[in-house]
Amino acid sequence: MTRKTMTLNVGPQHPATHGVLRVEVELDGETILNAKPIVGYLHSGIEKNMEAKTYTQAITMTDRMDYLAPMSNNLVYVMAIEKLMGVEVPLRAQYIRVIMTELTRLNSHLVWLGTHATDIGAMTMLLYTFREREKILQMYEFVSGVRMMSTYFRIGGLAKDVPEGFDTRVIDILDTFPSKIDEYEGLLTENKIWKNRTIGVGKISAEDAIKAGLSGPMLRASGINWDIRKANPYCSYDKFDFEVPLGKNGDTYDRYKCRVAEMRQSLRIIRQALEGLPHGNYIAKDYKVAPPPKVEMLKKMEQLIHHFKFWSEGFSPPEGDVYHSIESPKGEIGCYIVSDGSNKPYRVHFRPPSFINISALNKLVKGHLISDLIAIIGTTDIVLGEVDR
């Protein structure tokens, strides 16, 4: 007897797909036989648009990919160009980059936790996590003038030094957040409903996670100790003492625990970076990649001319290509750039963790009930702006 199956479309206008994602699900009753994620509904052409801009102008495009982790996107792009041109970034700028990207990790994980819990039914979590996220957005605005699309990092360093009072605001976050994370765990970690909806759901083995190209919490929840901050340190991460949280079962519950533990480790890194924050320049004194200081520009004609040419024409790296990757909140984000020697990149391509994570959806959901699909989509922690570049 031939078994009859039903094909169901989840999305692209479904709130729990976290964007315009369509999943074509084949069902036998309520059991998922196959799930095919279909992307492209949000295609923005970000990579191609970056190729029409100077290297500095293109930084603004990176904010729009994973809009919950704008500074991580800034960082991987500018560091790729710095590697291509051999630019040495001042230590102060490196430490500030660490502080801001770890705040970005907190920002991303807070939104993930609030939306993921809401999808499963714990609606209060969204209110709690957005309460803490507001402090991080205020910090973005404090240092860059913008709450979300900050474009704060520049090739060679930062757009400007941190304002007076920066350390006080960071200390406030460091003092406030630990008790709030305790509150999240008090609501969820031993909650019977939460455990029933997440333990054993969306399980993937270490071997399959590696084969799928997963990274970040999606990989570490399966017990694989891989974190680019440790494996290939950048921005002086080798100077900071922190742990890499790991899971054992590779299920939705372990991924939850890994991300919550990462929030605590981010606070630990931020405290060390703030306490050891060195004095000095906030941007490289390499006028090929950075404009002259405003004080000099207002006094010297040569610097005024250079300022004008820098912002109107940009700079031209040598011919060649480069790849650089960092540990974003969602996993490994990499940036590949090809230079043809002109003032605009010939090719820009990103390795987006959201795209890789969602590509493993079929492996994660097979054999589960349709009611588990939403929890599994949530555990992949995707942003469709990063998927559909």
Q: Which two tokens stand for residue 389?
A: 């570049």
Tell me what pLDDT residue 6 has: 87
Tell me what pLDDT residue 287 has: 61
Question: What single-letter DSSP state applies at residue 252?
Answer: H
Rounded to whole angstroms, how far apart are CA atoms 268 and 255? 20
Provide the b/e sequence for 262-285 (b: ≥16 CB within 10 Å).
bbbbbbbbbbbbbeebeeebbbbe
pLDDT digits (tens, 9 = 90+) for 136-186: 999 999 999 888 888 899 998 898 889 999 999 999 999 999 999 999 999
Tell me what pLDDT residue 1 has: 54
Walk me through the domains of the chain, giving residue ranges and CATH numbers.
48-352 (1.10.645.10)
Rounded to whole angstroms, how far apart are CA atoms 115 and 222? 22
Instruction: List the chain residues with pLDDT less than 70.
Output: 1-2, 287
SS (H, E, C) 72-103: HHHHHHHHHHHHHHCCCCCHHHHHHHHHHHHH
Is pTM beyond 0.85? Reply is yes
Tell me what pLDDT residue 29 has: 87
Rounded to whole angstroms, how far apart are CA atoms 243 and 207? 23
Tell me what pLDDT residue 313 has: 84
Give the C-alpha distances (Å, rounded to integers) separating 275 from 231, 240, 271: 24, 11, 6
Q: Following DSSP, what letter does each residue of 354-368 receive, concatenated?
A: HHHHHHTHHHHHTTS
243 Rama sector, left if φ>0, alpha if ψ -120 to 50, beta otherwise:
beta
Q: Which two tokens stand for residue 357?
A: 């994570």
pLDDT digits (tens, 9 = 90+) for 333-346: 999 999 999 999 99
Percent of the chain with pLDDT over 90: 63
Tell me what pLDDT residue 262 has: 95
Strand, coil or helix: 148? coil
CA angle 178, 237, 267 (to 5 degrees): 5
Q: Nearest 5°: phi and psi at 14?
A: -110, 125
